[in-house]
Amino acid sequence: MSDPTSAPAFTPRVFSGIQPSGGLTLGNYLGAMVKFVDMQDRGDFETVYCMVDLHAITAKLIEPATLAHNTRELCAGFIAAGIDPEKSILINQSQVPEHAQLGWIFNCVARMGWMDRMTQWKDKAGKDAERASLGLYAYPALMAADILVYHATHVPVGEDQMQHLELTRDIAAKFNHDYGVDFFPLTETVVEGAATRVMSLKDGTKKMSKSDPVDASRINLTDDADTIAKKFRKAKTDPEPLPGSLDGLSARPDVRNLVNIFAALEGTTPEAVLASREGGMLGHFKVELADLAVAKLAPISTEMARLMDDPAEIDRILARGAERAREITVPILQRTYEIVGLVGHAP
């Protein structure tokens, strides 16, 4: 057993991942990517952002060409949203094999009982768990490996991922305890606030979703300016004027959602948006919102389209990202193997 007394100091490092399951929305942008860019630009952290393609194949079968397209499109979305592949490490998971390799070790650390308690597993596998893939069950152990193969200290995610982050800490703690080391950090969750949760434009009580059959319920990052403007102008609201403060919106989720989106796009707060608009009519507010959204989002869809015109360049960016990632992941995996007692991995 290794010396348990010397606690290493961990480099402040952010890791987060998004599944390349197709169709980026305003929800992905405001809920995740804006935060990712902010953490990249603050300079307090090294930042690693990942298209988790191995996670994307845990559910239903995806057409191979579609998976490849979605992965490249997500990469284009990251870059168009402001992720700079020089400042951040931008990768697709499968191209950095240490994720899956550490994932196996963690399959042997995590307990069946822990996995059984995962609400996302229960939701996704449903009543027909017998027919779910083994990969779907092991999904959270691979996610823990994504994070810990970088010794990441901070992980920005949506609220729905908090349980997976707790499991990540449980795995790190059990590994450290079982092997008498202080090797893996207990990663902090950085949760996005309710204010950044973007709801459907047709039902303010439902999350904006790429799988909603009604396209007008969401803004796709690939929508052009006219489409973006039209969707906001036709968003569901009510005939009442805007209140001067948030209390007045507690029973008006559709309007609350538009106010949240406005604030997030503008980089202010919902309170500030309302303060200067008390008594304003929603028809007018929606036009203002449409203009703001077009100004902010049209450049993103244009840039995504430009990047998608040259998939070979995207592939070069991802290959370069993998090379940089492996400078971190290869030594951490090697040390893990050594700690476990697997032969042939001493530096």
The reply to whether 314 sits near ligand TRP by the rule CB under 6 A is no
The reply to whether 137 sits near ligand TRP by the rule CB under 6 A is no
- Site residue total, ligand TRP (CB under 6 A): 13
Residue of 111, 132, 135 lying closest to 122 (CA atoms): 132
Residue of 8, 327, 12 lying closest to 154 (CA atoms): 12
Cα(288)–Cα(296) distance, integer angstroms = 12
- 234: annotated active-site residue: no
Q: Which of 24, 91, 147, 235 binds ligand TRP (CB under 6 A)?
A: 147
Query: Among residues 14 and 263, whose Cβ is nearest to ligand TRP?
Result: 14
Cα(122)–Cα(160) distance, integer angstroms = 13
Shortest distance in whole angstroms from residue 8 CB to ligand TRP = 21
Cα(114)–Cα(130) distance, integer angstroms = 18
Q: Which of 161, 196, 237, 301 binds ligand TRP (CB under 6 A)?
A: 161
Shortest distance in whole angstroms from residue 247 CB to ligand TRP = 32
Q: Which of 14, 15, 243, 321 binds ligand TRP (CB under 6 A)?
A: 15
Shortest distance in whole angstroms from residue 168 CB to ligand TRP = 8
Are the CB atoms for 146 and 15 separated by under 8 Å? yes
The reply to whether 146 sits near ligand TRP by the rule CB under 6 A is yes
- Residue of 87, 174, 202, 210 marked active site: 210
What is the residue whose two structure tokens read 């989720």? Answer: 253
The reply to whether 55 sits near ligand TRP by the rule CB under 6 A is yes
Query: Among residues 126 and 283, whose Cβ is nearest to ligand TRP?
Result: 126
DSSP string, 154-216: EEEE-GGGHHHHHHHHHHHHHHHHHHT---S--PEEEEPPGGGPPBPSS-TTSB--TT-S-GG
The reply to whether 92 sits near ligand TRP by the rule CB under 6 A is no
Contact stretch for ligand TRP (CB under 6 A) within 12-20, 75-83, 104-112, 238-246: 12-20
- Residue of 124, 202, 236, 296 marked active site: 124
Residue type, 278: E
Q: Give the residue ranges of DSSP H helices in 82-111.
A: 98-107
Shortest distance in whole angstroms from residue 243 CB to ligand TRP = 34
Q: Which residues of 10-44 are buried (b: 16+ CB within 10 A; e: fewer)?
A: eeebbbbbbbbbbbbbbbbbbbbbbbbbebbeeee
Helix or strand holding residue 48 (H, E): strand 46-51
- 231: annotated active-site residue: no
Shortest distance in whole angstroms from residue 159 CB to ligand TRP = 11
Are the CB atoms for 282 and 242 separated by under 8 Å? yes
- Residue of 174, 202, 207, 296 marked active site: 207
- 207: annotated active-site residue: yes
Residues that bind ligand TRP (CB under 6 A): 15-17, 19, 52, 55, 143, 146-147, 155, 157, 161, 164
Give the residue numbers marked as catalytic: 124, 207, 210
